[in-house]
Amino acid sequence: GIQVEQSPPDLILQEGANSTLRCNFSDSVNNLQWFHQNPWGQLINLFYIPSGTKQNGRLSATTVATERYSLLYISSSQTTDSGVYFCAVRGWRDDKIIFGKGTRLHILP
Amino acid sequence: SAVISQKPSRDICQRGTSLTIQCQVDSQVTMMFWYRQQPGQSLTLIATANQGSEATYESGFVIDKFPISRPNLTFSTLTVSNMSPEDSSIYLCSVQLRGSGTEAFFGQGTRLTVV
């Protein structure tokens, strides 16, 4: 099946800093999503981005499908951005959505 | 998107007992899945819930331990049977919605602790 690798595994930043999270995947996909899991365990949909670039406020994402990677950018970090960010993909061969191991982000005040 | 209601939101259970988790969606659903998230880990797919037929289980998960029902398009249950402390996890229901392509949406999860 498809392999999903996220980097870095952990990231500690001061409030106001910018960050880039990366997701590499091993095969072509028809779905790529970024999620934020808050401290209560809820998964928040950030982006549905199988290709191209999207922006939503301080967050943006780019997926280069031909090179099999996606980037999530967080600008002007706030403490509420802390949590785990997951990349998840779905390949063309079945309906399953596979998750990477996540990037744990700590924003210090 | 849609409202995905998952019950209970949390529970503490005795080992050897079973817990049934419910997932109800207020929109038309094309696909429904159950995931497990062990402490500090990522999400692992347990099974695809198929309407009116047996669920499709992933490697490492069996029907006797995780029976799943999906009697209609918008409702499913996952039972965690004969629980042990190793079953302590967050269990999440995920759906794909008609008109939303392959985008996945998640319930708020059930945080299960087995003592």
Is B105 in the A-facing interface, judged by CB distances under 8 Å? Answer: yes
User: Other CB atoms closer than 10 Å to residue A92's CB: what's the count?
Assistant: 10
Top-level class of domain A4-108: mainly beta
* A&B contacts, CB < 8 Å: 54
User: Other CB atoms closer than 10 Å to residue B26's CB: what's the count?
Assistant: 10
Residues 6+ apart with CB under 8 A from B3: B25, B26, B27
What is the predicted pLDDT for the residue at B110? 96
Q: How confident is the model at residue A96 (pLDDT cuts 50, 70, 90)?
A: confident
Amino acid at B24: Q
Q: Read off the pLDDT of residues B82-103 as tens digits, 9 standing for 90 and up.
A: 999 999 999 999 999 988 888 9
Superfamily of domain B4-114: Immunoglobulins (2.60.40.10)
Rounded distance between C-alpha atoms, residue B83 and residue B14, angstroms:
7
What is the predicted pLDDT for the residue at B104? 93
- Contact between B103 and A43 using a beta-carbon 8 Å cutoff: no
Angle at A24 between CA B30 and CA A41, to 5 degrees: 55
Using the structure block, give the residue that is written with the tokens 């409702």. B75
| Residue of chain B with shortest Cα separation from A29 | B102
Say if residue A25's pLDDT is above 90.
yes
Domain ranges of chain A: 4-108
Q: Read off the pLDDT of residues A42-63 as tens digits, 9 standing for 90 and up.
A: 899 999 999 999 999 999 999 9
Chain B residues touching A31 at Cβ < 8 A = 101-104
Instruction: Please state the rounded mean pLDDT for residues A81-100.
Output: 93
- Contact between B45 and A98 using a beta-carbon 8 Å cutoff: yes
- The residue among A43, A45, A51 with the most chain B CBs within 10 A of its CB, best to mutate, is A43
Domain ranges of chain B: 4-114
Instruction: Please state the rounded mean pLDDT for residues A28-48.
Output: 93
Is B61 in the A-facing interface, judged by CB distances under 8 Å? Answer: no
Task: For residue A88, give how far its alpha carbon lies from the nearest alpha carbon of chain B (Å).
Answer: 9
Q: How confident is the model at residue A98 (pLDDT cuts 50, 70, 90)?
A: very high
The whole-angstrom distance between residue A102's C-alpha and the CA centroid of its chain comes to 8
Task: For residue B41, give how far its alpha carbon lies from the nearest alpha carbon of chain A (Å).
Answer: 7
- Contact between A43 and B106 using a beta-carbon 8 Å cutoff: yes
Rounded distance between C-alpha atoms, residue B14 and residue B35, angstroms:
22
Amino acid at B84: S
Q: Read off the pLDDT of residues A60-72 as tens digits, 9 standing for 90 and up.
A: 999 999 999 999 9
- Contact between A102 and B45 using a beta-carbon 8 Å cutoff: no
User: In the 8-state DSSP scheme, what is residue B85?
Assistant: G
Which residues in chain B show pLDDT less than 50? Answer: none
What is the predicted pLDDT for the residue at B11? 98
Bridge partners, A104 (sequence order): A10, A84
Chain B residues touching A42 at Cβ < 8 A = 106, 108-109
